Structure 1
Amino acid sequence: MHRSLCRQTVPWEAVIALDGVGPERLPTALASDPRMRTLSVPRPVGAASARNLALNLVRTPYVNWADDDDLFPDHAMAARLGALEQAGVGWCAGWSEDLHPDGTTTLWRCPAPPGRHEAGDVWTYWRSPADTIPIGPTTILARTELVRAAPMGGLVQGEDYMTAVGITSLASGILLPLPVYRYRKHPGQMTAQPGYDQLENAAREHAWQYGRSLRSLLHREVLSG
């Protein structure tokens, strides 16, 4: 992840949430990079809480969530930042790729189609909780105030479904037809651990219901106004 950030063509700063471990665990390359800032959470609190606490330290105008075992293509930041600022929208996203151990990739085109989406429209491409989520959470580059208004959900997993639905429900945005994130597939990833599937359906149901309710409430406010 750090190496991929160093290849980006726009300025960046990263906040690393250390969930229950100290900064001595950081690799030297990260610890010596002034663009890397850390939050050491004194006890393990889980991905959702650690990420939300790290959000307190963000001082850049835009935010992109990421996992430490993944990476960004070289064009990821510049392409989305340019499209976002040119259109004057709240967020810009793209497609993602699975990066396999042998170095090959598999492209994932999310259900939401490329182009501009008005607030709340992305959720409509999530037909039911059992279906694939409508947009990749880590493919979204969004204005910081928007991410603060729609942070990670308080779930033990699927917390990123909540932020994706929240961000795209509160502001209009653009989905680019190009991959902007690579998920590194390996045995140690959280989704590959025993028992992960036990709560997946419930997490999807919660996030889906959140999106439906949020869209309904916002549309009623627009219509009544």
Structure 2
Amino acid sequence: MLSVLTALGPDVADHFAETVESVVAQRLPAGVELEWIVCVDGPPGVIDLELPDDPRITVVHSGRPGGPGLCRNVAATRSTGSVLRNLDADDVLLPGALAADVRTLSDPRYGWCTSEALDLLPDGTTRAFATGGRDRDIARGEIVEQWRRSETLDVHVCTLAVRRRLFWAAGGYTALPRSEDVALLARLSAQCVGRHRSEPGLLYRKWPGQITAVDRDESNRAVRESITAALSS
């Protein structure tokens, strides 16, 4: 079983229909099943959801608003897959993305994987995301060192797929106001080797309301420095 985890807040609900289409269209290798856990950020009724009648989709609620990290963790507790795959509610999976995750993590050398992504611009065009760009192993601690030096990684954290056991061993998504996904990836990197694929698996939507469009403040840098220092010691 591969479990896709999505945090859905009112701020991204307008883009969610395209995300739904991209998940439902995924095809996995024979013998592998898909489940999609969508966690709404808040109590029932906060978002008017229109979803296809698909038994693979489960909707849960966080109860009180807590942001994407909390919602992904709640979704993970309701999942059953041996592999957990993040998907933001405003992004779009490209065909074959989940099957590629399954194939990558069938290799026991890797605890997690990422892929290239394309920026999806407001006018519908795409552009390459500036990452490492090649198929490669990511050594233990490499993401920690990258994040220590800069806010920007050379892998796209929104494409993360990880073994369930390692996800919980790392504590799940960090309780931070931002960079909760990068902090998780850094902790995973401190534990085990990852794999990056050069074939794009995601359209990463760029729009003014996204969290990463907001200017980073000094407190976020302090958090980054504290976490990377601890993981490097």
TM-score normalised by the shorter chain: which range applies? 0.7 to 0.9
Does the 8 A contact of 1:64 with 1:138 survive in 2? Answer: no
Q: Residue 145 of structure 1: which of 149, 157, 165 is its match? A: 165
Provide the rounded CA distance (Å) in 1 between the counterparts of 2:134 and 2:140: 14
Amino acid at match of 1:14: W
- CA-to-aligned-CA distance 1:136-180 (integer Å, 9 cap, x gap): 221111101111223211111111111111122211121111212
- CA-to-aligned-CA distance 1:10-34 (integer Å, 9 cap, x gap): 131111111114168353324x221
User: Cα distance 1:169–1:4, how it changes in 2: closer, same or farther (>3 A)?
Assistant: same
* TM-score, normalised via structure 1 length: 0.82
Which residue is 1:210 aligned to? 227
Does the 8 A contact of 1:118 with 1:172 survive in 2? Answer: yes
Q: Residue 42 of structure 2: which of 20, 36, 42 is its match? A: 20
User: Cα distance 1:56–1:203, how it changes in 2: closer, same or farther (>3 A)?
Assistant: same
Size of the alignment, in residue pairs?
210
Residue 162 of structure 1 aligns to a residue in which SS? Answer: helix
Q: Residue 5 of structure 1: which of 23, 27, 34 is its match? A: 23
Does the 8 A contact of 1:110 with 1:134 survive in 2? Answer: yes
Amino acid at match of 2:215: D
Which residue is 1:121 aligned to? 142
In the alignment, structure 1 segments of 5+ residues that lack a partner are 217-225
Which residue is 1:63 aligned to? 84
Provide the rounded CA distance (Å) in 1 between the counterparts of 2:128 and 2:111: 25
Provide the rounded CA distance (Å) in 1 between the counterparts of 2:140 and 2:48: 38
* 1:6-85 correspondence runs (5 A): 6-10=24-28, 11-22=33-44, 25-30=47-52, 32-85=53-106
* 1:121-200 correspondence runs (5 A): 121-126=142-147, 128-129=149-150, 131-150=151-170, 151-192=172-213, 196-199=214-217
Provide the rounded CA distance (Å) in 2 between the counterparts of 1:34 and 1:172: 34
In the alignment, structure 2 segments of 5+ residues that lack a partner are 1-18
Does the 8 A contact of 1:161 with 1:207 survive in 2? Answer: no
Residue 185 of structure 2 aligns to a residue in which SS? Answer: helix
- CA-to-aligned-CA distance 1:61-114 (integer Å, 9 cap, x gap): 101112111111112111222122135411121111110122211111325964
Amino acid at match of 1:62: V
Deviation of the 1:204 alpha carbon: 4.2
Does the 8 A contact of 1:8 with 1:77 survive in 2? Answer: yes
Provide the rounded CA distance (Å) in 2 between the counterparts of 1:15 and 1:171: 26
Deviation of the 1:215 alpha carbon: 3.7
* TM-score, normalised via structure 2 length: 0.80
Amino acid at match of 2:23: L
Provide the rounded CA distance (Å) in 1 between the counterparts of 2:216 and 2:111: 34
